[in-house]
């Protein structure tokens, strides 16, 4: 017979925190869309193009494009900074952040420079392809985008994350060996188990299986190691390994391939028709805000579908975790502790979960685990 467990309701603090986070997310998206639309319809994009072309000497297309991307990114950063700073204050208001303002500003600066580097490289590649292959540039751009997507997934643990966080080899030999054996049973070859120094910036806890191939590794936040038993940490990692067992990374890459193919085709179709007040041709980089606007709209429209797919994957990973650990108890206690520590919304409304959540709610995950355990009893 199925056992019924009392459902833990969200605290007022958790509801308020998550409501603020959703408002910040919506405000940031709408602000970005509004900025791109204004730059286009006012003709400012063409003015920016003329300005950067003039100061680059009039004939240096590559430099003019870089300066244009720099100018656009600076405007975007200035506009979005107040929201980002408010988000930083929200984390402190709800006692979820340990990060000092100076450290946060330093991270913001590093994030901006990384974003500028990536956006500049992508822009230069796309417009080079447009000039060289005006009919099929979008196919080449799509292939390069996918290659970069996979490369970044592989290199992020060794090149990108260390820019913002410190990692060191896990010193708990017993836990390291236990998690390594768990990975081997899942068929996941890992290149080490690392402690992720998260506590200097956040009070939240997390764990992940990062990287691809030679860079794949287990990372455990020090906030997790300090507050969870080895059994609970094993349960959390078993969930992450469930993604490997079900090939969720490869499936996600496949889905990204389909979506980006459609996205590049839509952009190509729109750019074929010049808008004289905005841009003169496909190769006129004054149309970059239009490309970004189309990409953002497509992403927002697809977000509920992608979230639904992600929640399906998370349920599969949970089911693998239940089967991989000796007892369901550590999974249940870990989920409840993570919800409390991260101030997660355990019981969101149906529409909030559909529109915003990439994971099933904690209450649903706990209830599903309990039902599974009852069927095994």
Q: In the predicted model, is pLDDT for residue 44 greater than 90?
A: yes
Q: In the structure, what pLDDT confidence band is assigned to residue 154 with cuts at 50, 70 and 90?
A: confident
SS (H, E, C) the chain: CCCCCCCCCCCHHHHHHHHHHHHHHHHHHHHHHHHHHHHHHCCHHHHHHHHHHHHCCCCCHHHHHHHHHHHHHHHHHHHHHHHHHHHHHHHHHCCCECCCHHHHHHHHHHHHHHHHHHHHHHHHHHHHHHHHCCCCHHHHHHHHHHHHHHHHHHHHHHHHHHHHCEEEECCCHHHHHHHHHHHHHCCCCCCCEEEEECCCCECCCCEEEECCHHHCEEEEEHHHHHHCCHHHHHHHHHHHHHHHHCCHHHHHHHHHHHHHHHHHHHHHHHHCCCECCCECCCCCHHHHHHHHHHHHHHHHHHHHHHHHHHHHHHHHHHHHHHHHCCCCHHHHHHHHHHHHHCCCCCCCCHHHHHHHCCCCCHHHHHHHHHHHHHHHC
Tokens (6 digits) for 189: 């070859």
Residue 6 falls inside a structural domain:
no
Question: Is the residue at 205 inside a domain?
Answer: yes
The rounded distance, in Å, linking the Cα atoms of 123 and 128 is 8
Per-residue confidence (pLDDT) for residue 6, from 0 to 100: 54
294: closest CA among 23, 37, 24?
37
Q: What is the Rg, in whole angstroms, of the alpha carbon atoms belonging to the chain?
A: 23
* Bridge partner list, 169: 194
Q: Between these two residues, 97 and 6, which has the higher pLDDT value? A: 97
At 255 the pLDDT is 93
Q: Determine, yes or no, domain membership for 42.
A: yes
59-68, 225-234, 270-279, 292-301: which has the minimum mean pLDDT?
Answer: 270-279
Task: Name the pLDDT band for 377 (thresholds 50, 70, 90).
Answer: low
The answer to whether 203 and 173 are in contact (CB under 8 A) is no
| Percent over 70 (pLDDT), the chain | 98
Q: Total structural domains in the chain?
A: 1
Is the distance from CB of 107 to CB of 164 less than 8 angstroms? yes
CA distances from 144 to 61, 83, 117, 195, 264 (A): 21, 33, 16, 33, 12
Identify whether 163 is part of a domain.
yes
- Which residues is 333 bridged to in the sheet? none
Q: So what's the pLDDT on residue 328?
A: 94
pLDDT above 80 for 1: no
pLDDT of residue 59: 82
pLDDT > 90 in the chain, percent: 85
pLDDT in tens, 54-72: 999 878 999 999 999 999 9
- Structure tokens of 289? 């805000």
Query: Cα 105–78–16 angle (5° rounding)?
Result: 70
Cβ-contact 320, 239 below 8 angstroms: yes
Rounded mean pLDDT, 93-116: 96
φ and ψ of 17, to 5 deg: -60, -50
Kindly state whether residue 7 falls inside one of the protein's structural domains: no
Average pLDDT over residues 203-228: 92
In a domain, 253, yes or no: yes
Domain that holds residue 101: 12-376
Summary mean pLDDT of the chain? 93
pLDDT of residue 7: 60
Rounded Cα distance between 371 and 4, Å, is 9
Mean pLDDT, residues 147-173: 92
Confidence at residue 244, expressed as pLDDT on a 0 to 100 scale: 93
pLDDT of 87: 97
Answer yes or no: is 4 within a domain: no
Per the domain annotation, does 5 fall within a domain? no
pLDDT at position 274 is 74
Better pLDDT: 330 or 2: 330
pLDDT of residue 333: 95
Query: How large is the average pLDDT for residues 114-128?
Result: 95
Q: What is the pLDDT of residue 375?
A: 86
In this structure, the strands spanning 207-210 and 193-197 are unpaired
The pLDDT of 345-349, averaged and rounded, is 93
* CA-angle at 141, arms to 290 and 157, nearest 5°: 100
- Give the pLDDT mean for 302-316: 96
Res 2 pLDDT > 50: no
pLDDT of 3 over the 60 cut: no
């Amino acid at each position: 017979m199925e056992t019924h467990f009392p459902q833990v309701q969200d605290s007022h603090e958790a509801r308020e925190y998550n409501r603020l986070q959703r408002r910040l997310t919506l405000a940031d998206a709408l602000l970005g869309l509004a900025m791109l639309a204004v730059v286009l319809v006012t003709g400012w994009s063409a003015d920016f193009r003329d300005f950067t072309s003039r100061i680059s000497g009039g004939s240096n297309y590559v430099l003019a494009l870089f300066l244009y991307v720099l100018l656009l990114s600076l405007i975007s950063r200035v506009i979005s900074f107040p929201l980002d700073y408010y988000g930083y204050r929200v984390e402190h208001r709800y006692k979820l952040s340990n990060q000092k303002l100076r450290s946060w500003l330093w991270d913001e600066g590093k994030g901006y420079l990384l974003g500028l580097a990536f956006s500049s490289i992508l822009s230069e590649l796309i417009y080079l392809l447009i000039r060289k292959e005006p009919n099929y540039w979008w196919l080449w751009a799509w292939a390069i985008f996918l290659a970069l997507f996979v490369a970044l997934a592989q290199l992020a643990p060794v090149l990108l994350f260390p820019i913002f966080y410190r990692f060191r080899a896990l010193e708990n030999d017993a836990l390291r060996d236990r998690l390594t054996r768990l990975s081997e049973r899942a068929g996941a070859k890992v290149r080490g188990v690392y402690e992720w120094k998260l506590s200097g910036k956040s009070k939240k806890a997390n764990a992940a299986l990062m990287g691809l191939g030679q860079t794949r590794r287990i990372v455990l936040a020090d906030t997790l190691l300090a507050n969870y038993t080895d059994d609970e940490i094993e349960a959390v990692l078993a969930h992450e390994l469930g993604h490997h067992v079900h090939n969720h990374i490869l499936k996600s890459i496949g889905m990204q391939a389909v979506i980006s193919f459609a996205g590049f085709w839509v952009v190509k179709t729109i750019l074929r028709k010049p808008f004289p007040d905005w841009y003169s041709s496909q190769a006129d980089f004054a149309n970059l805000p239009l490309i970004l606007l189309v990409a953002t709209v497509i992403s927002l429209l697809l977000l509920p579908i992608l979230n639904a797919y992600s929640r399906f994957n998370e349920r599969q990973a949970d089911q693998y975790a239940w089967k991989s650990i000796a007892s369901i108890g550590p999974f249940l206690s870990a989920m409840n502790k993570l919800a409390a520590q991260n101030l997660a919304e355990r019981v969101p409304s149906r529409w909030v979960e559909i529109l915003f959540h990439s994971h099933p709610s904690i209450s649903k995950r706990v209830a599903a685990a309990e039902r599974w355990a009852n069927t095994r009893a």
